């Protein structure tokens, strides 16, 4: 199957060719034709499966430039859970829009940044990518109008619901016109996601792609070390230096720990930055850009931002601290081993963590050998 056979317009085919998109991913094959036909669609696909392009391409084919009198009336709304994902989705829209015969304006809005520049940027906007809270603020300020909306996209709906955005989403839904196209994408089909789908959608096409994070585990080499809490730092530095690891994404369970781990790495001559909700949007964008380009060796992150970190060939993920939920563990390690490229997922496990780690393995259906780090010489690290 080719993008041309899916019905993608010639001007977008040229952009795809320039960007070296050779053939569509499964979620793109399943989603693009019905979205072009303006059908409602429920897409179940993991992060990194190509889902963003699966809705961006057909939306760009369907969206038409507005008349001047419709200023600040958006045609397409994409709701996302995090600022990082908002920026990422906006960039994909802008990247593909370069091949359009008509100018289409896409912007991203999110909290944690000044609202005034975002209000000004609403002039002439066609496609808006937004986090729910900031969108409500903009609507209440009459900076943007949703009464003529043609297409609504909920991207990573499961994450939005898990982060407690349901009330904001319900408020937004009540403001939207009844006649519109609804596209909902989620990594899992939970009861919450299913309820939203039943409320929003009319006879949706179901595009479920085999290969959620759980199905991606076969490409991931999982390693675990039993270690005392005080030896975690030396062991982490040993692993990075001894094995000359590049592009290492480290997960911690708190903002404090993320900063501390990054600081200790820098003191030991390992280039590292932390990224979390307490950092400014610019600091997070810069850190992620440097990490994705390979300029930054190590990025230390919290779970809250993990969904905005989308790198196709990330080689190494390290759980400095185990997450509370087995699902979060699977999501964390799913940052690597993507696009059928092998990757390493390393977990540092204390005696206190052992029972929880057993639960994670049972939920995952996979046993991981737990190596005792006491036999590793950590002197000098």
Last residue of a domain, one of 176, 208, 240: 208
pLDDT at 212: 47
Residue 127, beta-bridge partner list: 76, 106
- Is 323 within 8 Å of 295 (Cβ atoms)? no
Residue 309 falls within a domain, yes or no?
yes
Same domain as 122, residue 14: yes
Element (H, E) at 235: helix 232-242
Query: Does residue 358 sit in the same domain as residue 297?
Result: yes
**Model confidence over 138-173: pLDDT tens digits?**
999 999 999 999 999 999 888 888 778 888 999 999
pLDDT value at residue 338:
59
Q: Quote helix, strand, coil % in the chain, to nearest 5.
A: 45, 20, 40
- 329 and 224, same structural domain? yes
CA distances from 227 to 247, 344, 349, 360, 371 (A): 23, 18, 6, 18, 9
- The pTM for the full model equals 0.62
Q: Distance of alpha carbon 163 from its chain centroid, rounded?
A: 14
pLDDT tens string 187-213: 777 777 778 888 888 888 998 875 544
pLDDT at 308 over 80: no
User: What would the mean pLDDT of 60-72 be, rounded to a whole number?
Assistant: 77
Positive or negative, the Cα torsion across 12, 17, 23, 27? negative
Residue 252 and residue 119 share a domain: no
Q: Pairing between strand 248-252 and 316-319?
A: parallel
Domain count, the chain: 2
Residue 266: Cβ within 10 Å count:
13
4 is a domain residue: no
Same domain, residue pair 224 and 281 = yes
Using the predicted structure, report yes or no on whether residue 312 has a pLDDT greater than 90.
no
Tell which of 183, 208, 233 closes a domain. Answer: 208
Considering the domain boundaries, does residue 246 fall inside one?
yes
Q: Are 236 and 272 in contact (CB under 8 A)?
A: no
What is the rounded average pLDDT for all residues in the chain?
Answer: 87
Give yes or no for residue 6 having a pLDDT over 90: yes
Quote the pLDDT of residue 135: 96
Lowest mean per-residue pLDDT among 64-68, 316-320, 374-378 = 64-68
Tokens of 363: 């939920």
Residue 201 shares a structural domain with residue 225: no
Domain ranges, residue 128: 10-208
Judgement on whether residues 204 and 228 belong to the same structural domain of the protein:
no
Higher pLDDT, 218 or 272: 272
Q: Which two tokens stand for residue 311?
A: 């790198």
Selection from 179, 185, 125 nearest residue 153 by Cα: 185
**Per-residue pLDDT for 380 more than 70?**
yes
1, part of any domain: no
pLDDT of residue 213: 47
> What tens digit of pLDDT does each residue of 259-271 get?
999 999 999 999 9
User: Phi-psi bin for 192: left (phi > 0), alpha (psi -120 to 50), beta?
Assistant: alpha
Structural domain contains residue 366:
yes
Do 200 and 287 belong together in one domain?
A: no
What's the pLDDT score for residue 48? Answer: 66
CATH of the domain at 166: 3.40.50.300
Residue 44 parent element (H or E) = strand 41-44
Pick the range with the lowest mean pLDDT from 48-52, 127-131, 307-311.
307-311
Six-digit token string for 242 = 């001894």
Same domain assignment for residues 203 and 222: no
Over the stretch 207-237, which tens digit does the pLDDT of each residue have? Answer: 887 554 455 566 788 889 999 999 999 999 9
Strand partners, 347: 224, 319
Does one domain contain both 174 and 226?
no
Among 162, 178, 208, identify where a domain stops. Answer: 208
On whether both 154 and 90 belong to a single domain, the answer is yes
Residue 28 to residue 7: CA distance in whole angstroms: 11
Q: Which helix (H) or strand (E) holds 172?
A: helix 166-175
- Of 104-113, 246-255, 338-347, 360-369, where does mean pLDDT reach its minimum? 338-347
User: Which of these, 130, 129, 123, lies nearest to 73 by C-alpha position?
Assistant: 123
């Amino acid at each position: 199957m080719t993008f041309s056979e899916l019905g993608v317009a010639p001007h977008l085919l040229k952009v795809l060719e320039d960007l070296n998109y050779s053939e569509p991913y499964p979620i793109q094959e399943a989603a693009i034709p019905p979205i072009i036909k303006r059908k409602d669609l429920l897409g179940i696909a993991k992060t990194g499966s190509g889902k963003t392009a699966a809705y961006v391409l057909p939306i760009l084919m369907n969206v038409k430039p507005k008349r001047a009198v419709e200023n600040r009336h958006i045609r397409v709304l994409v709701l996302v859970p995090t600022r990082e994902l908002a920026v990422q989705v906006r960039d994909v829209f802008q990247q593909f829009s370069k091949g359009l015969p008509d100018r289409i304006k896409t912007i991203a809005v999110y909290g944690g940044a000044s609202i005034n520049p975002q209000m000004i940027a609403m002039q002439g906007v066609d496609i808006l990518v937004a986090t729910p809270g900031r969108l409500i603020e903009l609507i209440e300020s009459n900076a943007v109008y949703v009464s003529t909306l043609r297409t609504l996209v909920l991207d990573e709906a499961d994450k939005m619901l898990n982060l407690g955005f349901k009330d904001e989403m319900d408020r937004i839904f009540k403001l939207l016109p009844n006649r519109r196209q609804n596209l909902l994408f989620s990594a899992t089909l939970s009861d919450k996601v299913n309820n939203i789908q039943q409320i929003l959608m009319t006879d949706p096409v179901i595009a479920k792609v085999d290969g959620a994070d759980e199905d991606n585990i076969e490409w991931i080499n999982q390693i675990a070390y039993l270690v005392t809490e005080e030896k975690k730092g030396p062991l982490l530095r040993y692993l990075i230096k001894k094995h000359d690891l590049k592009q290492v994404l480290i997960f911690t369970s708190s903002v404090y720990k993320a900063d501390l781990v990054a600081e200790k790495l820098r003191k030991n001559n390992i280039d590292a930055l932390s990224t979390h909700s307490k950092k400014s949007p610019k600091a997070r964008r810069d850190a992620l850009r440097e990490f994705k380009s390979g300029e930054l060796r190590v990025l230390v992150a919290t779970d809250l931002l993990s969904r905005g970190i989308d790198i196709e060939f990330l080689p190494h993920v390290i759980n400095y601290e185990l997450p509370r939920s087995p699902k979060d563990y699977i999501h964390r390690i799913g940052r690597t081993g993507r696009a059928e490229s092998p990757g390493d997922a390393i977990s540092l496990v204390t005696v206190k963590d052992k029972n929880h780690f057993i639960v994670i393995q049972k939920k995952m259906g996979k046993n991981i050998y737990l190596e005792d780090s006491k036999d590793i010489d950590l002197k000098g690290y």
